[in-house]
Amino acid sequence: MPTRPRSLARCPGARRAPLGVALAFAVVFLGALGAAPARAQGRYQSAFLGGRSALMGGTGVVLGVDGAAPFLNPATIIRIEDRNIAFSSRFFRYAHRTLHAWHQPGPVDPARYGDLQLDGATVSDHGLRTFPDSTCYFFDLRRGAREGGAERTPVGRQALAACLGKTEENEFGFDALAFSGESAGRRVNQAQTLRYEWGRFSAGPSWSYSATDRLAVGASLSVVRTRFASSLAVSSIVDDTATRSASSATFQSALSGDSWDLLAHLGVTYRLTEVFSAGLSVRTPSLHVFDSLDASYHDTLAGETASVRQWAAEGEFVAPSPVRLAVGASAEWSRVRLELDGFLYVGQRELARVVVDREEVAIGVGATPQRTKSRLRITEEAAPVVNVALGAEVFLTRDLSLIGGVVSDFNPLARLRGPMSAESRLFLERMSGMHAGLGMVSYTRYGDLVFGARFDYAAGQMAAVNAFSSPLQLDPVDSREFGATLVLAGRISLRSVETTARELGDAVEGSAASPAERRTPREPMKAPAQED
């Protein structure tokens, strides 16, 4: 995916990167992590942007050359050879999550359930899933004139890209989770189903221009679809072994919303010296276009007395993307590349908003249904946060490199504090995490191939239904997740494929050019390989 280090292609005996500089990058990175606030903004680094970028800790503000480039800094697409298709796929993502005290998340109603203390209420869930990722088509709009030597980007060159990618994601769920236990002379049977999904999909064009052999600027315009869906169903039955009386509780809520918005990315990169470069990009405030929302709610308590409450409605769901400032610094030596990026996400009073006009139906013991109309408005706020990413590439040979990186991933939401009304929160989860990647890149004249794995760790809270309270409520429980995903990505040079097909045709017809007359296409900023 990325270009080879220029000095490696130019002079195999060039000097190696000083160890002290590499250690300085690591120290700065660790210091930035320590400075990040505990109550922070989002799981914005959760998605796999590109393949190389994801394995290099989500970096790419300066040296991005894959499907992540338009979303991190559109100015970097000028580094990509004309007429390329970049793709990335993920497969076999394994995740293991533990939810402590999930079946009894908070205090119980002593009048109904006595001194209930359930054992084995902790839940562990694991699964294997597959996901598609970003796809981009890159091509030259204008070639430009090469100045400053063969290693520099041609001045006046313009590049375009058309990309589709998932920029945020969070999915979790389990079906028909069964539980049974005994405590304080009572038997409990419970069944739960949970589905939780949050994701942003972006698509649109990007443009980059090399103003000089050192300076490049870029812009992109994206249509963003934010998808949020949650479904939680709980059924609980408790019977008293002494009196043979029983009580039950059921809870069900579902929400499905889509928000469509427009936003732009603006970026710039500048080569400071032959080794060091810097990059800066801004994601603008989003412009809301339209949305849709369907929501429903139902709860029942039955025992000596009984009550039922239910409503269903359509409404609005607005989820603007937060403004983001990204800065990056990179260093390129003969066999080593380093990139350090910082991402500042501006706080929002409305990370997501739901508004519904509903008709509630409530039924008590022996009473006729009571119908009331009201407006429900739920808003989730986001605090500012800084996430930091560090990535490295070490060339084992001229055509094979080892890549890796780490990135922080903090959450935007306020800490969950129970007890909470089931209609007071949109997001049932608040977890912060870290991501680390490791892989290899193989370079050929036909394109590049990236293969590796990304490892995830997240910890925080999830809101669980407390079926033993009156009325039913949500209480937070501790949550922890480990995950690992195999990543396959690459970039195909369409010009090289066409040239090879033409040469094969010429060879069949007996009119193939001699080896001295052939030219191997190369990417901008990549010097021709030396002959052995």
Q: What is the DSSP string of 477-502?
A: EEEEEEEEEEEEEEEEEHHHHHHHHH
Distance separating alpha carbons of residues 81 and 199, to the nearest angstrom: 31
More confident residue, 5 or 493: 493
Indicate whether 76 pLDDT > 80. yes
The arithmetic mean of pLDDT across residues 261-280, rounded, is: 97
Coil, helix or strand for 81?
coil
In angstroms, how far is the first alpha carbon of the chain from the final one? 24
CB 523 within 8 A of CB 79: yes
Counting residues of the chain whose pLDDT is more than 70, the rounded percentage is 81
With CA atoms as reference, report the closest residue to 353 among 458, 482, 480, 261. 261
Q: How far apart are CA 342 and CA 280, in angstroms?
A: 10
**How far apart (Å, rounded) are the C-alpha atoms in residues 428 and 231?**
10
Q: How far apart are CA 81 and CA 13, in angstroms?
A: 26
Distance CA 39, CA 207 (A): 36
Q: Quick one: pLDDT band at residue 35, thresholds 50, 70, 90?
A: very low
Cβ neighbours for 517, distance < 8 A, ≥ 6 positions apart: none
Q: Which two tokens stand for residue 224?
A: 């963003």
Mean pLDDT over the full length of the chain: 83
CATH, range 6-517: 2.40.160.60
pLDDT of residue 527: 38
pLDDT value of position 529: 39
For residues 280 and 328, give the distance between their C-alpha atoms in angstroms, rounded to a whole number: 6
226 phi and psi, to 5 degrees?
-100, 125
Closest of 466, 467, 469 to residue 110, by C-alpha: 469
In sequence order, what are the residues at sequence separation of 6 or more whose Cβ sits closer than 8 angstroms to the Cβ of residue 90? Answer: 48, 130, 131, 132, 133, 485, 486, 487, 488
- Give the C-alpha separation, 298 to 91, whole Å: 37
Report the pLDDT value the prediction gives residue 17, as an integer from 0 to 100. Answer: 38
Q: Specify which of 172-181, 259-268, 293-302, 404-413 reaches the highest per-range mean pLDDT.
A: 259-268
What is the DSSP code string of 345-368?
A: EPPEEEEEEEEEEEEEEEE-TT--
Q: How far apart are CA 478 and CA 525, in angstroms?
A: 49
d(CA 189, CA 178): 8
Is 141 strand, coil or helix? strand
pTM: 0.83
DSSP letters spanning 44-71 = TT-S--TTHHHHTTT--TTT--STTHHH
- Checking if the pLDDT of 467 tops 70, the result is yes
pLDDT in tens, 316-353: 999 999 999 999 999 999 899 999 999 999 999 999 99
More confident residue, 49 or 411: 411
CB-CB contact of 23 with 462 (8 Å):
no
Residues contacting residue 139 through CB under 8 Å, at least 6 positions apart: 82, 83, 84, 159, 160, 161
Looking at 16-25, 93-102, 203-212, 373-382, which range is the least confident one?
16-25
pLDDT class of 82 with cuts at 50, 70, 90: low
DSSP-derived 3-state class of residue 29? helix
Place of tokens 């970049």: 86
Residue-level pLDDT at 4: 45
**Closest residue by Cα to residue 278 from 62, 53, 82:** 62
Q: How far apart are CA 523 and CA 138, in angstroms?
A: 12
Amino acid at 404: G
8 Å CB contact between 33 and 347: no
Q: Which residue has the higher pLDDT, 500 or 292?
A: 292
The most confident of 27-36, 116-125, 147-156, by mean pLDDT = 116-125
